[in-house]
């Protein structure tokens, strides 16, 4: 999944939050953790992908 698509999904999730009736802090913390986990995986995969493409 590309970064713009992830951000697009996050935007939809954030905009729909009030309808869920969940505590914002818990949800934001989970989203931030997901972002960092995804970024770390991408950073680990980037060198391999660059070598394959190159």
Which residues lie below 8 Å from residue 38, measured CB to CB, with a gap of 6+?
Answer: 1, 6
Residue 27 has a pLDDT of: 76
Residue 8 has a pLDDT of: 85
**Chain segment 7-50, per-residue pLDDT in tens:** 888 788 777 766 666 677 777 788 888 888 877 776 666 666 66
Calpha distance 16→37 (Å, rounded)? 22
Between residues 23 and 6, the one the model is more confident about: 6
Residue 1 has a pLDDT of: 55
Q: What's the number of domains the chain is made of?
A: 1
Name the packing angle between helices 3-20 and 24-53 (round to 10°). Answer: 170
The residue range of the domain holding 34 is 3-53
Which residues lie below 8 Å from residue 49, measured CB to CB, with a gap of 6+?
Answer: none
Query: Is 0.85 surpassed by the pTM of this model?
Result: no
């Amino acid at each position: 999944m590309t970064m713009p698509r992830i951000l697009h999904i996050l935007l939809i999730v954030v905009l729909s939050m009030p309808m869920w009736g969940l505590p914002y802090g818990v949800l934001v913390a989970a989203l931030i953790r997901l972002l960092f986990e995804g970024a770390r995986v991408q950073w680990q995969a980037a060198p391999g992908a660059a070598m394959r493409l190159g």
